[in-house]
Every structure is written in structure tokens, then in C-alpha cells.
């Protein structure tokens, strides 16, 4: 292997991959980055055993030569050191593999060698069947993940809840996540002919969100029984799927409510954020919400050792009872509200110890369910 490339271009292509690679991986070779030079240009691959990320630096961009390859080949070298080094070298980089798997990098008067691994030992990427494929606009997919991913379970006790369920139906994608105390669900309209559902680890989805792609570009999704691949113009992210059956969450969504209020999204979010200052000493960030009368709600929180806060906010519209009071996890409320772009939200109260439903005022595509906390 022997090629010349701009160091800054290489580093920027590496950056998404380098984040995934742990320098203390249990499988030593996974602390390395795989570099392949062939007729397509350079392909960089990194993995943390759950995820593989592959990134291509094409030989030509807009007709301009980006990579000058004089010998094809491949190497695996320690990602952390390569990354640190490239940041500190001048921009003209000449990389060359040695017989023993190490590489020599020359740049101006500087010569450096990095030890490598036997690249034949690098795990093979799973093969994908190009028939099992669906295309999704990147922006829409990101929005659906952002509006659900926060609600996954942080505990490994039920692994299936640590993932986001992605359900493809006729012209529809439904993303759902729940940690059994709250639920987030988001439907997006896409062009799809497949009927399939997958549970994708939320850690893989957050890496996917970090890929720098334009909102309007498309993601090709390929899948097998165990793996899913998100393929964008220059990157591919391979993720394992989580096995096990995802709970039937549709049945949890209450069909009726005792009271539904409409309220300003930003105002409510700021109010709950303030209340959370005092809620941190509670295990569940207790924040109390009370419908005072037809016109006002009160948001309150108190911490005996520290102090208390209470504030009133205007109700835009109310349908039903005006004497409801409940305590929620303030962080759950905040995370649910953060994903809502509409000016106003509706909150439906199902009654004592029943979950509340938070929705944007006009769109039914986004839904959040939060269970109240017991305060006794």
C-alpha cells in the first residue's frame, strides 16, 4: 500500500470512525482502524464489535484528484495514535505500508512509523442482501430517532428496551422506545413497500446521528436477521439488532382522558427546567404539576435542605376537569418536550396514577407517555 492524501481530509474522514473505536478494546485488533487502498480510493473501517463504521475517501471529488494511490493494499493501525499524529503533521501525507504490517508516514522533514496488526485478522463485515432494502430521507430518519431515542431504558435488565423499535409498514416508519416508565413514539411518512420491524441499539442510532450528512440526502437501509446497515453517500454504519420481542405498546396508550390542556411548549419547558434545579435531590427529579383553575397551571418543586420554587403558567385551552395534580419526573418531561417543534403542546391527564399523554397541538405523528410518580 502506498498513497498520498491531504492529512486534514483524512482526519476529517476518520473523525466519525475514531469516536467508535475504543483504545482499550477487549479484542486488540478493534483498537485499530482498517485502511484499504483500491481502485475506489481509500476505505476506512472502525468497529466497537456492536457497530462497524465504514467511510470512503474517493480518489476523485468533482473531477479533482484527492488521493494519489501508487500501490493497492490494506493495513490495520492503532486508531488513537494515527488520529493524534495526523492532527499534528503538516497537510501533505505520504503513507506506505511496510512488510510487517506497520506503516511509514512521511510529511516534509518528518518521518514516523506506526505499528500495525495483521489485517487478515480484522473481522469481516456481514454480507448484505441487496433485495432487503428500503430508502429513507436522512432528515426524517434523524428526526424520528431524536424524538424517541431518549426514552430507551438505561438498564440492561431487559435488553430489548435498550433499543428503538423501527417498524416499516406500507409508506410508513414508526419508531418507538420505552423504558417502561415512559414511552415515545413517532410516525414518519416514507415511500416503503416492506413490512418489517427491527430493534436497533440506541447506541448505534446515536452514532448514526453523528454522521455528517445533508438532511435531504437518502439513507439506504439493508437488513438481515441479525444486522442492519445504514448506507449514506460516503459512509456505511453496520449495527447488530437486538433480539427479543418488543412490548406491545399500542395497548398502553390511554384512549380517554379526564382533562386535556393546551399550553405553550417553550414556556412549559423553561418552567420544568427551573423546577428541576430543586428536584435533583429526589431520586426521580420530582416536579409537581397542578391545574389551578381554567386559566392557570402551577409548576412546583421543593427540596427541604435547599429551598423551593413555584410558578404559574397560562393554560391556552382546557377540556375537562380543572382540579388535577400530579408529580412527574421532570427530566422525562423535558426530554419529551425537547423533541416537539410546535409552538403549543397538549397534555392529557388520565386520572390518579394513570400516565399522561404529551403531543404537539396539531400533529398526531408524535406521542409521549409518562407515568406519574408516587409521592407517598
d(CA 99, CA 23): 24
Helix axes 202-210, 7-20, angle to 10 degrees: 160
Among 110, 253, 295, 352, binds a copy of itself (CB under 8 A): 110
Angle at 287 between CA 285 and CA 281, to 5 degrees: 35
* Cβ atoms 79, 29 nearer than 8 A: no
Instruction: Tell the smallest beta-carbon distance from residue 40 to a copy of itself (Å).
Output: 27
- Does 277 help bind a copy of itself (rule: CB under 8 A)? yes
Stretch that binds a copy of itself, among 61-69, 108-116, 256-264, 336-344 (CB under 8 A): 108-116
Q: Which of residues 210-269 bind a copy of itself (CB under 8 A)?
A: none
* Cβ atoms 15, 89 nearer than 8 A: no
Instruction: Tell the smallest beta-carbon distance from residue 10 to a copy of itself (Å).
Output: 16
Among 71, 92, 111, 319, binds a copy of itself (CB under 8 A): 111
Q: Which of residues 142-181 bind a copy of itself (CB under 8 A)?
A: none
Q: Which residue's CB is nearer to a copy of itself, number 116 or number 350?
A: 116
- Helical H runs in the chain? 7-20, 79-88, 138-146, 202-210, 265-279, 330-338
Q: Which of 85, 17, 16, 22 is nearest to 45 (CA)?
A: 17
Q: Which residue's CB is nearer to a copy of itself, number 172 or number 274?
A: 274
Give the 3-state secondary structure of 84-123. Answer: HHHHHCCCEEEEEECCCCCEEEEECCEEEEECEECHHHCC
- Does 91 help bind a copy of itself (rule: CB under 8 A)? no
- Interface size with a copy of itself, residues (CB under 8 A): 30
Q: Which of residues 61-80 bind a copy of itself (CB under 8 A)?
A: 78
Residue in the block written with cell 436522512: 138
Q: Which residue's CB is nearer to a copy of itself, number 115 or number 375?
A: 115
Angle at 147 between CA 141 and CA 149, to 5 degrees: 85
- Does 17 help bind a copy of itself (rule: CB under 8 A)? no
Among 18, 97, 313, 368, binds a copy of itself (CB under 8 A): 313
C-alpha distance from residue 187 to each of 66, 171, 256, 365 (Å): 41, 10, 21, 5
Q: Which residue's CB is nearer to a copy of itself, number 41 or number 116?
A: 116
Q: Which residue's CB is nearer to a copy of itself, number 115 or number 226?
A: 115
Among 312, 316, 320, 344, binds a copy of itself (CB under 8 A): 312
Give the 3-state secondary structure of 155-201. Answer: CCCCHHHHEEEEEEECCEEEEEEECCCEEEEEEEECCCCCCEEEEEE
Among 50, 71, 84, 323, binds a copy of itself (CB under 8 A): 84
Stretch that binds a copy of itself, among 103-111, 119-127, 129-137, 208-216 (CB under 8 A): 103-111
- Does 311 help bind a copy of itself (rule: CB under 8 A)? yes
Q: Which of residues 287-306 bind a copy of itself (CB under 8 A)?
A: 305-306
Measured in Å, how far apart are the chain's first and last C-alpha atoms? Answer: 68
Handedness of CA 35, 36, 40, 43 (dihedral sign): negative
Instruction: Tell the smallest beta-carbon distance from residue 314 to a copy of itself (Å).
Output: 9
- Does 100 help bind a copy of itself (rule: CB under 8 A)? no
Kindly list the residues in this chain that would bind a copy of itself in the complex (CB under 8 A): 78, 81, 84-85, 88-89, 102, 108-115, 270-271, 273-274, 277-278, 305-313
Amino acid at each position: 500500500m502506498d498513497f498520498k492524501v491531504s492529512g486534514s481530509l483524512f482526519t476529517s474522514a476518520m473523525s466519525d470512525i475514531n469516536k467508535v473505536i475504543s483504545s482499550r478494546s477487549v479484542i486488540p485488533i478493534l483498537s485499530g482502524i482498517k485502511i484499504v487502498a483500491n481502485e475506489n480510493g481509500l476505505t476506512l473501517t472502525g468497529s466497537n464489535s456492536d457497530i462497524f463504521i465504514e467511510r470512503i475517501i474517493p480518489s476523485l471529488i468533482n473531477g479533482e484528484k484527492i488521493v494519489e494511490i501508487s500501490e493497492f493494499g490494506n493495513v490495520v493501525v492503532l486508531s488513537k495514535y494515527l488520529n493524534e499524529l495526523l492532527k499534528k503533521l503538516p497537510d501533505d501525507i505520504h503513507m506506505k505500508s511496510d512488510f510487517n504490517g506497520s506503516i511509514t508516514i512521511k510529511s516534509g522533514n518528518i518521518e514516523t512509523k506506526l505499528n500495525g496488526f495483521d489485517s487478515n485478522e480484522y473481522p469481516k463485515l456481514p454480507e448484505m442482501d441487496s433485495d432487503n432494502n428500503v430508502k429513507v430521507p436522512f432528515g426524517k430518519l434523524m428526526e424520528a430517532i431524536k424524538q424517541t431515542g431518549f426514552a430507551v431504558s438505561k438498564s440492561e435488565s431487559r435488553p430489548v428496551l435498550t433499543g428503538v423499535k423501527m417498524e416499516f409498514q406500507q409508506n410508513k416508519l414508526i419508531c418507538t422506545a420505552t423504558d417502561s416508565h415512559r414511552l415515545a413514539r413517532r410516525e414518519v411518512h416514507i415511500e416503503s413497500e416492506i413490512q418489517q420491524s427491527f430493534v436497533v441499539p440506541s447506541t448505534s442510532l446515536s452514532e448514526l446521528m453523528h454522521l455528517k450528512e445533508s438532511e435531504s440526502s437518502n439513507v439506504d437501509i439493508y437488513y438481515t436477521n441479525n444486522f442492519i446497515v445504514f448506507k449514506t453517500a460516503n459512509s456505511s454504519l453496520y449495527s447488530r439488532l437486538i433480539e427479543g420481542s418488543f412490548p406491545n405498546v399500542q395497548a398502553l396508550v390511554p384512549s380517554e382522558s379526564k382533562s386535556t390542556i393546551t399550553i405553550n411548549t417553550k414556556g412549559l419547558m423553561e418552567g420544568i427546567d427551573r423546577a428541576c434545579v430543586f428536584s435533583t435531590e429526589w431520586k426521580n427529579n420530582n416536579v409537581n404539576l397542578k391545574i389551578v383553575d381554567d386559566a392557570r397551571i402551577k409548576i412546583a418543586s421543593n427540596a427541604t435542605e435547599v429551598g423551593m420554587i413555584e410558578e404559574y403558567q397560562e393554560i391556552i385551552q382546557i377540556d375537562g376537569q380543572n382540579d388535577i395534580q400530579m408529580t412527574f419526573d421532570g427530566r422525562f418531561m423535558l426530554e419529551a418536550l425537547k423533541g416537539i417543534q410546535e409552538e403549543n403542546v397538549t397534555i392529557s391527564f388520565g386520572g390518579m396514577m394513570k400516565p399522561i399523554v404529551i403531543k404537539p397541538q396539531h400533529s398526531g405523528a408524535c406521542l409521549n407517555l409518562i407515568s406519574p410518580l408516587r409521592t407517598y
